[in-house]
């Protein structure tokens, strides 16, 4: 584990994020756009005569088939990638991956690295490692470029700068590009994108090494599959003399046909597109007579906690294809933004992965950062039961004694009461009377203004109270009438 | 064999608890020879019309000509309408034809090239995508560095789906080239306030010339 986690500070960060008006404005603007895009994608699927449930079952089966024999699929991938002329390196964790890449860059005399989006690079803390070695990493996805200028981590796995407003981006560009700051409106966004294009084009042409992630690794052909809209993925994997593919060991798909099936769901789930602008399959390096392409291609395949999930209760999480649909439909994500989660992956998938990859004890709040609404589970294109996995993590916390003593005692008492109906009913009768007694009557009904046992509940609203008698009492009384 | 590799495979095998990787590998490799397809979309009645509709929805512009001999005039027309000079970089596979008044350089593209002309291996009706293969006569940079990419698409090379494109690739080439690029319209970004802008890092304009009917 590397890439320092701040996930222990979720609650403190959540408070800050709720109070951040600029962030709240950006999130409020983004959420309906994300959900509308996926709806459009699903409509186009149906228009082609394809059923989401059937597509999801097929995608889930492909990913599960890989996990069922992941060791062998990785052997097949490695053999075929090497046969096609690539080199394959293995890293147990992010730090080892960063070390392998820094050593390779130093051996090859690399000074500038252009990067296409890789979340594994965030797990590995790769930019910091490269910078420390005197090598300049340049993020080239526009969103990643913005957060790199801001010296922040991405706040979303497919829209890294979703938390930034135009004004904030303009301030970053003005400083980085050495020009005065201008008043910008949404009409200026094309100009701003063009400015980044001009600046980054120089880096694309000058870089000695390109680093990309891989959306998938295709076992049949030993290829990396890369899905982008901006074309930066193609630049990074075509122009520099070295190409490094940095990705996780779970990204295998068996065949090109399986890849085609997943491609009907990935862009639609992520951005609502039927297909992303550029889908590339990269196999080996420059061939005899080729006029372009890297002379050397190196895969760095990283475990960082993945292998340990195989065969266990959390294995379904390894099916994830990183589309972002779960966070795009999560009320907790859109209340707080991605930075509140404190490590690399936000939203529901991040709340599952962060404790699993960085340690249960290092992300105690995340399995509880859920309303239980299951919107994430219902949109997931590979059928990951995210709410169930979050519940499983809560149980694991409890089993390891990681919950506070007060909460554990309360849960034990509740468990005892739930199994003893007489005592339960007696307590509920008393509680109903007590709550009624606590309330004050006003025009809107009887309400508790300040509830001493749980003051946070009434900090921003009143708690309406019932008539002072339990459901059972009322039911029995009506039956008598 | 690195320590890391051995450690990762050790843990994978412990978690799976399946044993005998050799037999499993033989079975999985045998299955790779007959890859099954997933659920397939409805086949459109008119492949060329579906391709054209999708390509236009992706913000490509589309022209149609009857024969390959009509292509130079169509290219000149397009460049003229855009106010661009009649010159471009083109993939070497296009060098054999008579390009008339067009001044073409058949090579890999460089940053200074503002227009790139390529053919395509095939095109996909389902998504309006071009399938481009890298090779000595079809360098990948021609469809990447210039601001404008003009692609020639033989209507007889339009296939229904990505799976059909892979089938064609297996039949005609046998193995994958260094790069297979599926290109679907001009490059775009939505990274500033989710506003879609055309022309991120790749071409800003993609113009397709359909050949034949």
pLDDT per position as a tens digit, B82-115:
999 999 999 999 999 999 999 999 999 999 999 9
Q: Any residues with CB less than 8 A from the CB of B124 and at least 6 apart, and which? A: B51, B130, B131, B158, B159, B160, B161, B162, B164, B165, B182
Q: A248-252, A474-478, B15-19: which has the highest mean pLDDT? A: A248-252
Class of domain A7-308: alpha beta
Residue pair B39/A58 in contact (Cβ under 8 Å)? The answer is yes
Rg (CA), chain B: 21
Q: How far apart are the first and last CA of chain B?
A: 56
| DSSP per-residue letters across A231-244 | SHHHHHHHSSSEEE
Residues constituting chain A: 481
Beta pairing partners, A114? A138, A210
Exposed, middle or buried: residue A467 (CB in 10 Å: 0-12, 13-18, 19+)? Answer: exposed
Rounded distance between C-alpha atoms, residue B179 and residue B133, angstroms: 6
* C-alpha closest to that of A254 among A72, A8, A413, A386: A72
Across B61-65, average pLDDT: 98
Residues of chain B with C-beta less than 8 angstroms from the C-beta of A68: 16
Domains in chain A: boundaries? 7-308, 324-402, 406-480
CA atoms within 13 A on the CB side of A164: 31
Q: What is the pLDDT of residues A346-396, one digit of tens each?
A: 999 999 999 999 999 999 999 999 999 999 999 999 999 999 999 999 999
A465, pLDDT greater than 90: no
Rounded distance between C-alpha atoms, residue A362 and residue A376, angstroms: 23
Domains of chain B: 3-32 (no CATH), 47-211 (3.40.50.10420)
A177-200 exposure pattern, b = at least 16 Cβ within 10 A, e = fewer: eeeeeeebeeeebbebbebbbeeb
Measured in whole angstroms, how far is the alpha carbon of residue A90 from the centre of its chain?
Answer: 23
Q: Any residues with CB less than 8 A from the CB of A481 and at least 6 apart, and which? A: none
Give the model's pLDDT for residue B104. Answer: 98
Residues of chain B with C-beta less than 8 angstroms from the C-beta of A190: 197-199
The model's confidence at residue A2, banded by pLDDT at 50, 70 and 90, is very low
The model's confidence at residue A1, banded by pLDDT at 50, 70 and 90, is very low
Q: Is A96 in Cβ contact with B4 (below 8 Å)?
A: yes
Q: Is B4 in Cβ contact with A92 (below 8 Å)?
A: yes
Question: What DSSP element (H or E) covers B183?
Answer: strand B179-183
Chain B CA closest to residue A284: B178
B188, pLDDT greater than 60: yes
Chain A CA closest to residue B20: A72
**Which residue among B189, B193, B202 sits closest to A166, beta carbon to beta carbon?**
B193
**Which residue among B128, B178, B183 sits closest to A283, beta carbon to beta carbon?**
B178
Across A446-472, average pLDDT: 85
B1, pLDDT greater than 70: no
The model's confidence at residue A3, banded by pLDDT at 50, 70 and 90, is low
- Contact status of A55 with chain B (Cβ, < 8 Å): yes
Q: Is A275 in Cβ contact with B2 (below 8 Å)?
A: no
């Amino acid at each position: 584990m590397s890439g320092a986690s701040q996930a222990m500070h979720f609650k403190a960060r959540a408070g800050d994020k709720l109070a951040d008006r600029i962030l709240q404005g950006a999130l409020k603007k983004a959420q309906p756009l994300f959900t509308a895009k996926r709806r459009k994608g699903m409509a186009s699927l149906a228009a082609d005569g394809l059923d989401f449930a059937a597509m999801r079952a097929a995608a889930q089966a492909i990913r599960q088939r890989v996990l069922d024999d992941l060791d062998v699929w990785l052997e097949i991938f490695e053999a075929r990638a090497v046969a096609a002329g690539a080199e394959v390196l293995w890293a147990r964790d992010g730090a080892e991956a960063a070390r392998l890449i820094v050593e390779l860059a130093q051996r090859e005399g690399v000074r500038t690295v252009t990067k296409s989006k890789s979340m594994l690079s965030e797990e590995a803390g790769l930019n910091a490692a490269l910078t420390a070695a005197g090598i300049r990493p340049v993020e080239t996805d526009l969103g990643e470029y913005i957060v790199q200028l801001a010296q922040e981590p991405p706040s979303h796995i497919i829209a890294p700068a979703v938390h930034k407003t135009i004004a904030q981006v303009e301030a970053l560009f003005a400083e980085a590009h050495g020009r005065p700051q201008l008043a910008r409106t949404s009409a200026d966004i094309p100009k701003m994108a063009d400015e980044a294009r001009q600046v980054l084009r120089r880096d694309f042409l000058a870089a000695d090494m390109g680093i990309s992630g891989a959306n998938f690794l295709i076992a049949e052909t030993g290829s990396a599959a890369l899905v982008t809209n901006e074309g930066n993925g193609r630049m990074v994997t075509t122009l520099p003399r070295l190409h490094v593919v940095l990705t996780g060991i779970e990204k295998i798909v068996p065949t090109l046909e399986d890849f085609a099936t997943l491609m009907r769901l990935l862009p639609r789930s992520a951005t609502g597109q039927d297909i992303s602008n550029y889908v590339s399959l990269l196999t080996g390096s420059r061939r005899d007579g080729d006029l372009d392409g890297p002379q050397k291609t190196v895969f760095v395949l990283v475990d960082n906690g993945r292998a340990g999930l195989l065969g266990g209760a959390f294995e379904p999480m390894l099916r994830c294809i990183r589309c972002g649909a779960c966070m795009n439909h999560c009320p907790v994500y859109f209340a707080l933004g991605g930075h509140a989660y404190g490590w690399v992956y936000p939203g529901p998938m991040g709340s599952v992965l962060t404790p699993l990859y960085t340690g249960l004890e290092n992300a105690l709040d995340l399995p509880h950062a859920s309303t239980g609404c299951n919107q994430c589970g219902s949109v997931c294109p590979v059928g990951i039961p995210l709410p169930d996995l979050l519940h499983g993590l809560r149980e694991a916390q409890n089993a390891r004694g990681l919950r506070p003593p007060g909460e554990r005692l309360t849960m034990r008492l509740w468990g005892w009461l739930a199994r003893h109906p007489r005592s339960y009913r007696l307590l509920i009768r008393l509680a109903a009377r007590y709550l009624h007694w606590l309330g004050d009557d006003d025009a809107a009904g009887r309400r508790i203004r300040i509830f001493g046992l749980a003051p946070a509940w009434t900090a921003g609203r009143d708690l309406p109270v019932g008539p002072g008698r339990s459901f059972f009492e009322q039911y029995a009384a009506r039956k008598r009438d | 064999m690195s320590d890391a590799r051995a450690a990762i495979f050790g843990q994978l095998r412990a978690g799976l608890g399946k044993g005998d990787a050799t037999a499993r590998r033989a079975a999985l490799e045998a299955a790779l020879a007959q890859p099954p397809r997933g659920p397939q979309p409805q086949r459109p009645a008119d492949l060329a019309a579906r391709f054209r509709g999708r390509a236009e929805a992706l913000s490509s512009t589309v022209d149609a000509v009857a024969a390959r001999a009509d292509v130079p005039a169509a290219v000149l027309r397009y460049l003229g309408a855009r106010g661009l000079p009649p010159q471009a970089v083109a993939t070497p596979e296009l060098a054999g034809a008579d390009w008339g008044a067009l001044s073409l350089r058949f090579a890999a593209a460089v940053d200074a090239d503002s227009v790139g002309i390529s053919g395509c291996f095939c095109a996909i009706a389902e998504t309006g995508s071009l399938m481009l293969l890298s090779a000595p006569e079809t360098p990948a940079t021609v469809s990447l560095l210039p601001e404008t990419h003009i692609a020639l698409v033989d209507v007889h090379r339009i296939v229904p789906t990505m799976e059909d494109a892979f089938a064609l690739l297996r039949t005609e080439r046998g193995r994958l080239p260094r790069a297979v690029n599926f290109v679907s319209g001009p490059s775009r970004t939505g990274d500033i306030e989710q506003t879609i802008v055309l022309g991120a890092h790749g071409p800003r304009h993609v113009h397709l010339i359909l050949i034949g009917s």
